[in-house]
Amino acid sequence: MKLVLTPQTLPDVESANVIADIKGSEHPEQVIIVSGHLDSWDLGTGAIDDGAGIAVSMEVANLIQKLHLKPKRTIRVIAWMNEENGSAGSKQYAKDHEKEISSHFAAMETDEGAGHPLGINIKGRAEVKKMFTPVAAILQESGAGMLNLVEHCGADIESLEKAGVPAFSPIQDSRFYFNYHHTAADTLDKIVPKELAENSAVVAVVAYALANIEQPLPR
C-alpha cells in the first residue's frame, strides 16, 4: 500500500464571521443565534460539513421573511469562521460579546449534516424541555417530535453554552455523515434537497418559538 499524505499547516490569515440580524419587534436586544460554520475541511467542498448548516440557517431567515412573521426577539444568523481549526471565530464572538451574554436568549447550531431531522437537542435545564413540549407537538407531524436533553449542542456555540446560554440543535439522521465527513467525498451530491429543507423547517420553528416565547428560559 502506498499512502500519499498532503496536509500542511500554513500561517493564520485574517478572516471573519458573517452575521445578519432580523431585528426583534419587542425585545431587539435579546438575541437567538441560528448558525452553522463557513469553513470546511480542506479535502472536500464541505457540502455536509458544514455547507448544509449554513444553508439551513440562511433559509430560516428566508422562511421567516417569506411568511411575514414578526419575531419579538432578534434572530441572528451566524456563519462562523474557522470551526475546523480551533473555533477561532466563535471564541472571538464570545469574547466580543462578553458583556451581553445575558441578552443572548438562546443559541442554535446545525452541524451534523443534512439528514432527516428527528427532533431537537437541548442543552439546558430540564424545565426548558418541559417548556418545549408544545413545540415538539407541532414538529411531530413531520417526524421531528423528539426532545433530548444533551450535554452539548455544537462546537461553535460551546463558549456560549459554558456561559449559561441555553443551546439547541436539530437531532439529525447522521447514519451516513461519517462516511463523507472530512473527506474529498463531502460534495453536494450527498445532500437530499427534501431532507435539507426539513432541517430548515425544524430550525425555523424552534427559532421562532424562542423568539416569541413569553417567559425567559431558566439558566
The only residue of 22, 30, 35, 49 in contact with Zn ion, by rule CB under 5 A: 49
* Residue 37 C-beta: closest distance to Zn ion, Å: 5
Is 49 or 59 the residue whose CB approaches Zn ion more closely? Answer: 49
The only residue of 39, 50, 112, 198 in contact with Zn ion, by rule CB under 5 A: 50
Q: Is 186 a residue that touches Zn ion (CB under 5 A)?
A: no
Q: How far is CA 25 from CA 60, 63, 74, 106, in A?
A: 17, 17, 8, 17
Phi, psi of 65 (to 5 degrees): -70, -45
From the candidates 83, 109, 112, 158, give the one annotated as an active-site residue: 83
Q: Choose one: 2-10, 46-54, 91-99, 167-175; the region binding Zn ion (CB under 5 A).
A: 46-54
Q: Choose one: 60-68, 89-97, 111-119, 211-219; the region binding Zn ion (CB under 5 A).
A: 111-119
Q: Choose one: 44-52, 67-75, 167-175, 193-201; the region binding Zn ion (CB under 5 A).
A: 44-52
C-alpha cell at 69: 412573521
Whether 54 contacts 79, CB under 8 Å: yes
The only residue of 39, 111, 156, 198 in contact with Zn ion, by rule CB under 5 A: 111
Examine the residue annotation and report whether 83 is marked as an active-site residue of this protein. Answer: yes
| Residue ranges in contact with Zn ion by CB under 5 A | 49-50, 111
Cite the active site residues: 83
